[in-house]
Structure 1
Amino acid sequence: MALKPHCIFQRGTGPIIAAAIHNGHQTRKSVEQRLAIDDKQQLREEDPLTGEWTQIAKTQIVGLRSRFEVDLNRPRDKAVYETPADAWGLEVWDTPPDQSMIDASLREYDAFYAEVKELLTEMLDEYPRVVVYDLHTYNQRRDGPEGPKADPTTNPEVNIGTGTMDRDYWAPVVERMIHELREYDFHGRKLDVRENVKFQGGHFCEWIHQTFPKQVCSIAIEFKKFFMDEWEGEANPAQVECIYQALETTVPGVRKALEQM
C-alpha cells in the first residue's frame, strides 16, 4: 500500500480497480483557516462511505483530501473552487485562496494523476485490459432538509456514466455491470439503474479514456444519497452494506466480460 498525503493507493491482484476520489474530508490547515463553509456543508458535497465500497476490488484508490481543497474529478484549471459558481452556489471562502495555496493544491492534483498513470501502466503490463469502478454519490435534497426529493425520473438511484468512453468498444463490460446491478435483490426490490441520465462521467474518467482508450474502461457509478440523510450526514448502515454487496456481485461478471473481449 502506498499512503500519500492526499490519497491511498492499494495495489492488489486482478484487473479491477475501485476508486473513491471524493471520499476525502481532510484539508490542509492553511485551507481550513480560509473556509467559510462549516463541516456539515463540506461533508454534504463530498462522497462519504465510497471509500468503504472500494473494498470490492483488490486494487483501490481512495482520496483523503476534501474536494474543497482540490477536486480530482475536474479539469486542472477548475480543480480549485474559486467562486460560488464552481461549488453549487456555496460561498466557500472567507478569504479567497491566494496563488501559493492554489499552487499547493495543484501539486496534489498533478501528483495524483501521475500516480494513477503509473499504477495503470503497471497493471497493463500484467493484464491486457483493466476496469475502474469510479465510485461517487450525489444529493437528492438540494432545497434543504425539509425540501422535496429530486424528481426520480431524472435522478436514478444509480447513474452509470459512460459518456467519456468508446461506448461501443466497451459495451460488453458496461452492459454486464448494468445487468448485474439491476438484477441484485436490494432488500426485496430492484435498484433503479440507468445510464447517462444525471451524469456522464467526470474528468477522472475522461482523462483515463484519453490516456488509455482501448485498455482501461472507467465507469462512473453515482449512487443517489437515498441511503442517508445528506443534511445530517447520517447513513443507514444496512443500506450502505447492501450497496457494497450489490457492487461486489458485479465484479465476477464484469471481469469475465473483460477477459472475453
Structure 2
Amino acid sequence: MQPYEFVGDWSGQLVTTSIHAGHDLRPEVADLMVLHEADRLREEDPFTDAIGSLMPARVLVHRSRFEADLNRSRDMAVYARPEDCWGFNVWETGHLPQDVLARSLEYWDSFYAALTLRLDALAARGPFVIFDIHSYNHRRPGPDEPNESWAQNPELDLGTGMVDRERFTPVIDALRDCMATQGFDVRDEIKFFPKQLSQWVHRRYPGTGCVMTLEFKKTFMDEWTGIPDSHRLNVLAQSVHLAAGPVQDALAALPRSTGAEEDSSDRLAG
C-alpha cells in the first residue's frame, strides 16, 4: 500500500488530515518490531479517516505512526526508547539499524515535501483551514476498568494553540459553536497541544494557514478490542461535514491578506 495519498477535490480552502489512522508497516520495519500488534493499534488513531470521509479534500496516511510519526519533529519521528511511546519496547534490538532508520526518515521527508506542493497552491489563493483529526484513549487502566473521568476527557478536545487568534478567531468559533450546537462536549487542549503538523503549517504559512486539531475521545470504538461502532462513526463524519459550511463562511469573510500573509505569498512565489 502506498504510504499516503491526497484524495478528493482540492479546489477549495478546507483540507482534512488523518495522519495517525494508518496501520501499515514496511516489511523491514515489521520484521524488527516486537511490539504486539494489538498494543500498536491501540496507540494509533484507527477510523479517523472515516470521520473525515465526507470532506472534500483529504490527506490519508496508511503507514503506522510506529514507522515514523508525522506529527512529531523529524528528530523524534521514529520512536527510539520506551519513554518516546507510552513505555513500549518497540524494536527487537532496542533500536533500528541506521539504514532502516534512514528509510523511515525518507518517508517523513517525502510526506512533508508532497504536502508542501499541495498547500502552496492553497496558500497562493488565500487563507486555508486544516481539520487535523485524531483520537485518544480514555480507558487506559484496562478493558474491565471504569472509564477515566469526564473532567479530563472531553468528547472533543480542540487544539488551536498554534493558531493566529487575532486573525482566525471567527474560524475557530465557527467550528466550536457548530460542534457544540450538535451536542458535543468541546473543550480546548485539556489533554493535548498541537504538535508537528500544526507547528509546521503555522511557521510556513503565517497569517494564511489555520490548523485546528480535532481530538475525538474513542467513543466510536472499543479501544481495547479495536472494534468500531459504525453508527457513531457515521454521526461523527456527518458532524464534521456539517461544520465545514460555517467554517468556510467564516474563512471567506476574513480580510484578504495580512502583512504576514503577503510575506508568505512573496516567499512562495519566489
Name the TM-score class by shorter chain. over 0.9
C-alpha distance in 2, partners of 1:213/1:196?
Answer: 21
State the partner residue of 2:5.
8
Task: Give the alignment of 1:189-208 within 5 angstroms.
Answer: 190-208=183-201
Instruction: Look up the match of 2:30.
Output: 32
> TM-score normalized by structure 1?
0.93
Aligned residues, how many? 252
User: Which residue does the alignment assign to 1:112?
Assistant: 111
Q: Which moved more, 1:48-57 or 1:4-13?
A: 4-13
In 1, the alpha carbon distance for the partners of 2:120 and 2:196 equals 19
Q: Tell me how far 1:30 sits from its aligned partner.
A: 0.7
Work out which of the residue numbers 65, 72, 84 in structure 1 matches 2:70: 72
5+ unaligned residues in a row in structure 1: which ranges?
Answer: 185-189
Quote how far apart the aligned CAs of 1:34 are: 1.2
Superposed, 1:1-261 pairs within 5 Å as 5-12=2-9, 13-95=11-93, 96-125=95-124, 127-184=125-182, 190-261=183-254
Partner AA of 1:78 in structure 2: M
Secondary structure in 2 matching 1:217? strand
Residues in 2 aligned to 1:247 and 1:220: alpha-carbon distance in whole angstroms: 12
Is this contact kept in 2: 1:27–1:65, CA < 8 A?
Answer: yes
Report the identity percentage: 35
Moved more, 45-54 or 209-218: 45-54
Whether the 8 Å contact between 2:79 and 2:85 is mirrored in structure 1 is: yes
Q: CA deviation at 1:42?
A: 1.1
Segments ≥4 residues shifted beyond 2 Å? 53-57
1:160–1:222: 8 Å Cα contact kept in structure 2?
A: yes
- 3-state SS of the aligned residue for 2:130? strand
CA distance in structure 2 between the aligned counterparts of 1:247 and 1:83, rounded to whole angstroms? 36
In the alignment, structure 2 segments of 5+ residues that lack a partner are 255-270
Cα distance, 1:147 vs structure 2: 2.4
Please say if residues 165 and 213 of structure 1, whose CA atoms lie closer than 8 Å, have aligned partners that are also in contact.
Answer: no
State the alpha-carbon separation in 1 of the partners of residues 54 and 76 from structure 2.
Answer: 30
What is the aligned partner in structure 2 of residue 187 from structure 1? none
Q: TM-score, normalised by structure 2?
A: 0.90
Cα 1:138–1:71 shift into 2, 3 Å: same
CA root-mean-square deviation:
1.2
The alignment partner of 1:153 has SS state of helix
CA distance in 2, matches of 1:138, 1:5: 25
